[in-house]
């Protein structure tokens, strides 16, 4: 069983300076087989000085340890002409050597980083801070509670592309709140490489990248978000690893060394299309990623995880990979106050599976609360391209139609008793895996991948209205709200290797202003209207698409002890001209159009439930009438 108190790097003060205790699990790599491990340490201020060498310390193999622990305590005392021994950030890496019986010592792996590092530096280096006045981060979120699933509006972003760093994201939180966002989904934050890659080739699983703000930067972001009632979930990559990940690199090197013992990796199996794949049949792999989840929950107060590539990782409700990880993480989360409302309730931890093609099965079969699925995105790309809508769009906006998706999942509470937990798919028009939606409406400029023609922003309007009025959890991808217009190639290094900074200047221009106004109006409506967050929807299929490109559906929230019954009628026009349709409104009263009520007053008086009323909607737009 992995014990984080014995692996990684731990600093302490001594009368003459400092000491660092190192611990490293290398299952199957044993001192009795001729192996030895060295840790190389240097003060960060000396790293580029060729006259300053690293200080090297041998690690000791702990015979009998079930995970083959290698450990050492290295003294950090003053070395003349260097910064070694002074306070600051120290960088370290490991080497593996092997000496055959009666032979010469051989270098097996020149450089590998710490798989349990709590802090890193750029360039595949682990790091640790030595300070005599170190103070822990002061969290202020003790009263914070993770939002309910049906109240979520999610914003996916890459920290670097969005605004450079964790502090840069903090600078934009009021902007995100204006879009109704109360949950950030951060693309992988652990990459130490400076080749931009979206973070999907992970080397470290316990430390945020120093390049975007490091551990305290992420803590500041989470704490600030929680102060505003905003959740933070991390995109984590557990299906595959970077080829330089220690439990791939080192074991490959050992097995490629003539005469050396054959030692199987404790967690890496076959190669896959995205990189070396994790073998979750191995207990060490299960423990490693389960421990990683627990660490992020405890040390960074995150609200959950978006699991990358669950489509390949999920096998069955009882598998030792994704299903076990989601279950174990859920059970662990029952100990955190932010997730549990009372002793009899389920945990509100957000566990979101990227389960394209398998989302309903994963929601039914695992302790997952939500899932990525591309149904609305695929439909939106088709409609933005100029194709006419069909009934499939309405059924996509109501994922529970016909029992396609489950509405709840039976889980357990802290006492181990069964309880129903709501589950839902994410709904989105864009994601990092696809070109911005405006690209499908048309492109401008030249080159292999010309940008989207932002003058066609108006084609996005009915789709944005559909997104915010759909059942499920709406998610935005950075910049879609002001018609950002990057086009992605279908494959190749340019797909993930180019940084595409958010075009903040588009926020102010003639195309961005009307679109972001619409998003903000929609956000306010979803926030204030229980009907738009409800689990009830009705599509007027007999009246929709009858010689027009219009469709209508209503959302309904029954009366509760704290709120009156509410209806919201959504009418969308995907056509190039103003069009009309007749709709039987389900309840008597004066229905008020809310999307544009600040610029004009539009009401529909309904005398009796079921009365037909004519609604006229401008081209490529929509109305939302609330009663």
Q: Does residue 538 register a pLDDT over 90?
A: yes
Q: According to the model, what pLDDT value does residue 561 have?
A: 86
231 phi, psi to nearest 5 deg: -85, 160
- For residues 154 and 295, state if they share a domain: yes
- DSSP 8-class letter at 450: P
Domain boundary among 100, 130, 160: 130
Going by their DSSP bridges, the two strands 621-626 and 612-617 should be labelled as unpaired
- For residues 399 and 424, state if they share a domain: yes
Is 489 among the domain residues? Answer: yes
Q: According to the model, what pLDDT value does residue 448 have?
A: 87
For the segment 186-206, the average pLDDT, to the nearest whole number, is 87
**CA-to-CA dists, residue 324 to 39, 192, 314, angstroms:** 34, 28, 10
> Residue 493 — pLDDT band, cuts 50, 70, 90?
confident
Which residues, other chains included, contact 608 with Cβ-Cβ below 8 Å and sequence gap of 6+?
Answer: 588
Q: Does residue 600 register a pLDDT over 90?
A: no
Count the neighbouring beta carbons within 10 Å of the beta carbon of residue 357: 10
In angstroms, how far is the first alpha carbon of the chain from the final one?
A: 57
Tokens (6 digits) for 559: 């009366």
- pLDDT for 359-417, tens place per residue? 999 999 999 999 999 999 999 999 999 999 999 999 999 999 999 999 999 999 999 99
Is 544 among the domain residues? Answer: yes
- For residues 316 and 422, state if they share a domain: yes
Is 440 among the domain residues? Answer: yes
* Rounded Cα–Cα distance for residues 197 and 186 (Å): 14
Reference 167, options 240, 106, 233, 218; nearest CA is: 218
Which residues, other chains included, contact 434 with Cβ-Cβ below 8 Å and sequence gap of 6+?
Answer: 377, 381, 488
- Give the CATH number of the domain where residue 555 resides: 2.60.40.1180
- pLDDT for 41-90, tens place per residue? 999 999 999 999 999 999 999 999 999 999 999 999 999 999 999 999 99
Query: In this predicted structure, which of 186-200, 274-288, 565-579 has the lowest mean pLDDT?
Result: 186-200
Please compute Rg for the chain using Cα positions.
27
Q: Does residue 472 register a pLDDT over 80?
A: yes
- For residues 335 and 290, state if they share a domain: yes
3-state SS string over 223-288? HHHHHCCCEEEEEECCCECCCCCHHHHHHHHHHCCCCCCCCCCCCEEEEECCEEEECCCCHHHHHH
- Give the CA angle between residues 549, 551, 557 to the nearest 5°: 165
Q: Which long-range contacts (CB under 8 A, 24 or more apart) does 494-503 make?
A: 494/449, 496/196, 496/197, 496/198, 496/200, 497/195, 497/196, 497/197, 498/196, 499/160, 499/161, 499/196, 500/161, 501/161, 502/161, 502/162, 502/163, 502/478, 503/479
Is 364 among the domain residues? Answer: yes
- For residues 575 and 483, state if they share a domain: no
> Max alpha carbon distance in the chain (Å)?
98
- Estimate the crossing angle of helix 322-333 against helix 283-300, to 10 degrees: 30
Is 1 among the domain residues? Answer: no
Domain count, the chain: 3
Q: Does residue 193 register a pLDDT over 80?
A: no
Residue tagged 């690209």 (tokens) = 439
- For residues 512 and 454, state if they share a domain: yes
In this structure, are residues 128 and 74 in contact, taking their beta carbons and an 8 Å threshold? Answer: no
Average pLDDT in the chain: 96
- For residues 419 and 401, state if they share a domain: yes
Q: According to the model, what pLDDT value does residue 374 have?
A: 97
Q: Does residue 268 register a pLDDT over 80?
A: yes
* Rounded Cα–Cα distance for residues 390 and 449 (Å): 30
- For residues 455 and 544, state if they share a domain: no
Q: According to DSSP H, which parts of 66-122 are helical? A: none
- For residues 573 and 514, state if they share a domain: no
Q: According to the model, what pLDDT value does residue 490 have?
A: 87
Domain boundary among 528, 558, 574: 528
Q: Does residue 100 register a pLDDT over 80?
A: yes
Q: Does residue 349 register a pLDDT over 90?
A: yes
* Rounded Cα–Cα distance for residues 332 and 28 (Å): 29
Percent of the chain with pLDDT over 90: 93
Q: Does residue 495 register a pLDDT over 90?
A: no
Residue tagged 């933005």 (tokens) = 384
The partner residues of 573 in beta bridges, in order of sequence, read: 550, 621
- For residues 101 and 232, state if they share a domain: no
Is 510 among the domain residues? Answer: yes
> Residue 343 — pLDDT band, cuts 50, 70, 90?
confident
Which residues, other chains included, contact 378 with Cβ-Cβ below 8 Å and sequence gap of 6+?
Answer: none
**CA-to-CA dists, residue 14 to 150, 356, 419, angstroms:** 53, 54, 52
Domain boundary among 470, 503, 528: 528
- For residues 401 and 460, state if they share a domain: yes
Tokens (6 digits) for 329: 């993480």
For the segment 524-532, the average pLDDT, to the nearest whole number, is 97
Got the DSSP string for 288-353? HHHHHHHHHHHHH---EEEETTHHHH---TT-TTHHHHHHHHHHHHTT-GGG-SSTTSPP--EEEE
> Residue 3 — pLDDT band, cuts 50, 70, 90?
very high
- For residues 330 and 440, state if they share a domain: yes
Is 261 among the domain residues? Answer: no
Structural domain containing residue 175: 150-239+279-528
- DSSP 8-class letter at 564: -
Tokens (6 digits) for 385: 């391209």
* Rounded Cα–Cα distance for residues 441 and 358 (Å): 29
Q: Does residue 574 register a pLDDT over 80?
A: yes
287 phi, psi to nearest 5 deg: -65, -40
Q: Does residue 16 register a pLDDT over 90?
A: no
Q: Does residue 191 register a pLDDT over 80?
A: no
> Residue 332 — pLDDT band, cuts 50, 70, 90?
very high
Is 245 among the domain residues? Answer: no
Ramachandran assignment for 609, one of left (phi > 0), alpha (psi -120 to 50 degrees), beta (any other):
beta
Buried b (16+ CB within 10 A) or exposed e, 443-479: beeeeebebbbbebbbbbbbbbbbbbbbbbbbbbbbb
Reference 241, options 277, 273, 270; nearest CA is: 277
In this structure, are residues 73 and 24 in contact, taking their beta carbons and an 8 Å threshold? Answer: no
Query: In this predicted structure, which of 177-181, 199-203, 231-235, 250-254 has the lowest mean pLDDT?
Result: 199-203
Q: According to the model, what pLDDT value does residue 373 have?
A: 96
């Amino acid at each position: 069983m992995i014990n984080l108190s014995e692996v990684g790097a731990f600093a302490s003060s001594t009368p003459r300076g400092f000491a660092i205790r190192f611990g490293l699990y290398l299952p199957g790599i044993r001192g009795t087989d001729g192996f030895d491990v060295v840790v190389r340490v240097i003060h960060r201020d000396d790293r580029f000085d060729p006259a300053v060498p690293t200080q090297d310390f041998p690690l000791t193999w702990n015979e009998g340890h079930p995970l083959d622990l290698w450990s050492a305590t290295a003294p950090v005392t003053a070395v003349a002409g260097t910064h070694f021994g002074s306070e600051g950030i120290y960088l370290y890496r490991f080497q593996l050597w092997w000496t055959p019986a009666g032979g010469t010592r051989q270098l097996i792996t020149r450089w590998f980083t710490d798989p349990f590092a709590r802090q890193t530096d750029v360039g595949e280096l682990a790091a640790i801070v030595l300070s005599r006045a170190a103070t822990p981060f002061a969290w202020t979120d003790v009263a914070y509670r993770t939002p309910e699933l049906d109240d979520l509006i999610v914003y996916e972003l890459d920290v670097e592309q969005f605004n450079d760093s964790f502090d840069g994201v903090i600078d934009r939180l009021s902007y995100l709140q204006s879009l109704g966002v109360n949950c950030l989904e951060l693309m992988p934050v652990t990459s130490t490489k400076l080749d931009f890659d979206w973070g999907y080739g992970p080397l470290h699983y316990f430390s945020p990248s120093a390049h975007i703000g490091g551990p305290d930067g992420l803590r500041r972001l989470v704490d600030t978000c929680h102060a505003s009632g905003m959740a933070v979930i991390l995109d984590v990559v557990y299906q595959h690893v970077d080829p330089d990940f220690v439990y791939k690199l080192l074991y490959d090197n050992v097995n490629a060394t003539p005469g050396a013992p054959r030692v199987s990796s404790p967690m890496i199996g076959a190669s896959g299309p995205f990189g070396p794949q994790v073998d979750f049949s191995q207990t060490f792999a299960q423990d490693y990623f389960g421990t990683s989840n627990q660490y992020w929950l405890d040390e960074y107060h995150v609200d959950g995880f978006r699991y990358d590539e669950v489509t390949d990782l999920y096998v069955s409700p009882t598998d030792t990979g994704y299903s076990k990880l989601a279950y174990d993480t859920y059970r662990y989360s029952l100990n955190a106050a932010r997730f549990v409302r009372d002793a009899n309730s389920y945990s509100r931890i957000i566990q979101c599976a990227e389960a394209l093609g398998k989302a309903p099965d994963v929601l039914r079969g695992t302790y997952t609360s939500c899932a990525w699925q591309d149904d609305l995105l695929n439909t939106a790309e088709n409609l933005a391209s100029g194709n006419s809508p069909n009934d499939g769009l309405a059924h996509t906006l109501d994922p529970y139609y016909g029992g396609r998706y489950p509405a709840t999942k039976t889980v357990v509470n802290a006492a181990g008793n069964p309880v129903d937990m709501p589950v839902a798919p994410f709904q989105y028009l864009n994601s990092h895996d696809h070109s911005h939606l405006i690209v499908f409406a048309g492109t401008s400029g030249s080159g292999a991948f010309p940008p989207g023609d932002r003058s066609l922003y108006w084609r996005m309007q009915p789709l944005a209205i559909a997104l915010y009025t759909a059942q499920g959890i709406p998610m935005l991808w950075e910049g879609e709200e002001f018609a950002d217009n990057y086009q992605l190639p279908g494959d190749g290094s340019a797909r993930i290797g180019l940084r595409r900074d958010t075009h903040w200047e588009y926020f102010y221009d003639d195309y961005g202003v009307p679109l972001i106004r619409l998003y903000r109006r929609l956000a306010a409506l979803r926030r204030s209207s229980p009907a738009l967050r409800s689990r009830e929807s009705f599509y007027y299929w007999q009246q929709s698409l009858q010689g027009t490109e219009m469709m209508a559906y209503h959302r309904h929230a029954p009366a509760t002890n704290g709120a009156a019954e509410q209806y919201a009628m959504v009418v969308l026009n995907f056509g190039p001209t103003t069009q009309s349709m007749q709709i039987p409104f389900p309840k008597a009263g004066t229905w008020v159009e809310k999307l544009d009520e600040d610029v004009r007053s539009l009401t529909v008086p309904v005398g009796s439930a079921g009365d037909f009323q004519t609604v006229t909607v401008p081209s490529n737009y929509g109305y939302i009438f609330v009663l």
